[in-house]
Amino acid sequence: SYVLTQPPSVSVAPGQTARITCGGNNIGSVHWYQQRPGQAPVLVINNDSDRPSGIPERFSGSKSGNTATLTISRVETGDEADYYCQVWDSRSDHYVFGPGTKVTVL
- 95 belongs to the binding site for other proteins (CB under 8 A): yes
Least spacing, CB of residue 86 vs other proteins, in Å: 5
Residue 97 Cβ vs other proteins, minimum distance, rounded to whole Å? 5
Mask of contacts with other proteins, 11-50, x by CB under 8 A? -----------------xx-x-x-x---xxxxx--xx---
HEC per residue, the chain: CCCCECCCEEEECCCCCEEEEEECCCCCCCEEEEECCCCCCEEEEECCCECCCCCCCCEEEEEECCEEEEEECCCCHHHCEEEEEEEEECCCCEEEECCCEEEEEC
Q: How far apart are CA 92 and CA 16, in angstroms?
A: 39
Instruction: CB nearer to other proteins: give 53 or 64.
Output: 53
Of 56 and 99, which CB lies nearer to other proteins in the complex structure? Answer: 99
Binding site for other proteins (CB under 8 A): 1, 28-29, 31, 33, 35, 39-43, 46-47, 52, 82, 84, 86-88, 93-100
